[in-house]
Amino acid sequence: MAPAATPCSPRLLLASSASPPPLFRVAARPLLLGSRGGGVRLRVRCGAADEEAEVRRGEQVKASVEEMAPGLDLVTLAACLVGLLTGVSVVLFNLSVHEIRDLLWDGIPLRGASWLREEPTAEIWQRVIFVPVSGGIIVGGLNTLRSSIKTNSDGSVSNMKGVFRPFLKAAAASFTLGTGNSLGPEGPSVEIGSAIAKGFGNVFGWEGGKKLSLVAAGSAAGIASGFNAAVAGCFFAVESVLWPSSGDSSSLSNSTPMVILSAVIASVVSEIGLGSDPAFTVPEYDFRSPTELPLYLLLGVFCGAVSITLSRCTAVTMDMVERLQKTTGLPMAVSPALGGLIVGLLALVYPEVLYWGFENVDILLESRPFTSGLSAAVLVQLIGVKILATSLCRAFGLVGGYYAPSLFIGAATGMAYGKFMRFTFTGSEALFHVPFLDVASPQAYGLVGMAATLAGVCKVPLTSVLLLFELTQDYRIVLPLLGAVGLSSWIASSQRFSTSGKGKLDSLEEKTSTIEEAKNVPTQTQQLTSVDSVDATAELCKLESSLCVYDVKDDNVLENLTVAESMKTRYISVSLKTPVVEALNLMLVEKQPFVMITESNKSLLGLLTVKDFQDFCKTVKSTRMQPEVDECLVSHVCGVVRCKIWSVTPHMPLITAEKIMDSHGMDQVPVVSEHVNHQDGGILIGFVDRECITIARRALAAKEFFSFTSEIRREES
């Protein structure tokens, strides 16, 4: 018996000789997909279909999907369970770190690192060196096991083996921190919470906003239980998970109750398991007068510079270690032991660089009884040594976070700064006597320095402010804290040092001379801009992986698209010597708002939009340099408005291309061949614009819907 005819039987017409194959073929429901400027053109012709029936069918499908989706109450309950399990897991994690530390260090951390300064080196050198090395050896074995599970798992076995990866990473972090290597426990705590949240999402099959809310709840629980600070945990989830990942403004409001409940439950569990004391002993805070505020602002500048130093030092060290491994063939399993050896050698002279909980931070803040404070000179030395030790630990593969090291470095920076200011402005032997200026104690500057450095390194200013406010419970700290944190975050922001901004600093006279010289090739600065345009988020993820616990492209099937599946291959290409009028005529004929600039071998030199041409006209008019129309070339425009040369490759995830477009304010981006030489822009093969991305996502969503429907019908049959 022949199947019944459908009310609407579409026919697909493919129109483009140079187009890649279509993503799918439809045979059941009319779809209307369009594409301007070449690429894949899909036109669906339908007979006398009843539009009202189509609308009713769409409403029925939407209603059925909503009925199948889990309710908000179930997700909220899951967030509470995530908070509970995260709190218990973080308590067990911290207890394991304490047990390893007490076993290997034999109670030395309880006396503080300053005690080691008073002991003869001959009596302590073996323990100080070999304990971090032993931790590196164990971590190297755990890292190797974790890598083998990650690379050798596939299919259904992947889900079973994937459960062990977070456990192995937490175990590696326990041995890293328990043996005193220079990292911190808060990053692993956040990753523990996010791993539990992702496990819940995978069990219930939740995607999109529901899974995002769970991951945010897990991250908040990790920080709340790590610092015993629930409010800071909530703001951390907002800054590190919801704001970077949410494409819908409603996601933030929908996730807020889950984040709050998860953070509160995790904080209560942590207080029961680890005690109600804060992570470190907060000294008495003293804020003398508003005239002291400029000193805190200057401290924020110094903390921003220190934050940049830590980030850059980590990047350089990781690059050096990677080259060392490639050159010498150093096994990855041996690298953590080598990192532990270097930390141990540094600790012989500066024992404070070892991680012994926050006891060393208490020593810096002079809030620990029966300990003498360190001089400003020693504190400055500790800043540099701690930055070096922390960078080496991360580069050599030891596992831990950057929150505790950032707080340590900030405390040292603030204390050294505070002692210098007291010496400068107060006392009988002060260098400058300012009657209206009364400088507070160095501990006040130490607390503010901790928050400012944490904000500059990890890009979480609100979390840093709320964390210190929650720990001090003193409203007077808020004003200097906000000023210092704001300045540190602004200075440490990657956009402040982007070389792509150099073009904005050119004077009007330089632009005019550029027109007169008629440069035929882009400058070297322009060519290197693509290298400097790497997303700063990737660098931040390398520094602190807990800040990137939610990756949309791994969790949402609609984001598993590559550039090759959505790019268009029909474009306008001109050379630098092409007259501007000719380029504009081509754009008018092809109805495209941009032109590609290439060399004779199709190597990409840049991209110009209609707005770029308009800006060029305004600049020429304002400088009263109006060359002949026929003599005005594309090279003149590139010399004035800096033609864009950011590009993507075919196998790059489509969401990455979209992020590049968003970060640089572009509506289209060229696609070049995979083998890109940094001396040029690569061989141009197409482009991706907003329309491409929208069409590809809608098409894949429709494809997934029809595949799901067909699978259900086959099961019913």
Q: Give the CB-side neighbour count of residue 2, counting CA atoms within 13 A.
A: 3
**How many residues comprise the chain?**
717
Q: Tell me if 144 sits within 8 A of 333, measured CB to CB.
A: yes
* Helix, strand, or coil (residue 603): strand
Per-residue pLDDT, 411: 93
Residue 189: pLDDT above 80? yes
Q: Write the pLDDT tens digit of every residue in 194-244.
A: 999 988 888 887 877 788 888 999 999 999 998 888 899 999 988 888 887
pLDDT band (50, 70, 90) for residue 427: low
pLDDT band (50, 70, 90) for residue 302: very high
Residue 33: pLDDT above 50? no
Report how far Cα 203 is from the mean position of its chain's Cα atoms.
26
Residue 501: pLDDT above 50? no
Q: Write the pLDDT tens digit of every residue in 552-567.
A: 444 444 456 888 888 8
Spatial separation of the C-alpha atoms in residues 302 and 299, rounded to whole Å: 5
136-157 exposure pattern, b = at least 16 Cβ within 10 A, e = fewer: bbbbbbbbbbbeebeeebeeee
Going by C-beta distance under 8 Å and a sequence separation of 6 or more, which residues neighbour residue 439? 288, 292, 295, 418, 421, 422, 425, 426
Give strand pairing partners of 608. Answer: 595
Q: Tell me if 293 sits within 8 A of 421, measured CB to CB.
A: no
Q: Write the pLDDT tens digit of every residue in 252-266.
A: 667 888 899 999 999
Q: What is the mean pLDDT of the chain?
A: 76
Nearest to 605 by CA among 517, 522, 688, 514: 522
- Indicate the pairing of strand 594-598 with strand 11-14: unpaired
| Sheet with 573-574: strands ordered across | 573-574, 594-598, 604-609
pTM of the predicted structure, to 2 decimals: 0.67
pLDDT band (50, 70, 90) for residue 8: very low
CA atoms 595, 17, 23, 12: torsion sign: positive
Q: Write the pLDDT tens digit of every residue in 380-415.
A: 999 999 999 999 999 999 999 999 999 999 999 999
Amino acid at 56: R
Name residue, tokens 């209560």.
268
Per-residue pLDDT, 32: 36
Long-range contacts of 591-599 (CB under 8 A, 24+ apart): 591/36, 591/37, 592/36, 592/37, 593/667, 593/668, 594/668, 595/634, 596/571, 596/572, 596/670, 596/684, 596/687, 597/573, 597/634, 597/638, 597/643, 598/573, 598/574, 598/684, 599/575, 599/680
Residue 2: pLDDT above 70? no
Per-residue pLDDT, 559: 56
Q: How far, CA to CA in Å, does 504 sit from each of 328, 460, 498?
A: 44, 28, 11
pLDDT band (50, 70, 90) for residue 493: confident
The token pair at 295 is 């000193």
Per-residue pLDDT, 364: 86
* Helix, strand, or coil (residue 658): helix
Q: What is the DSSP letter of 369?
A: T
Going by C-beta distance under 8 Å and a sequence separation of 6 or more, which residues neighbour residue 412? 364, 379, 380, 382, 383, 386, 446, 449
Per-residue pLDDT, 151: 45
Element holding 674 (H helix, E strand)? none
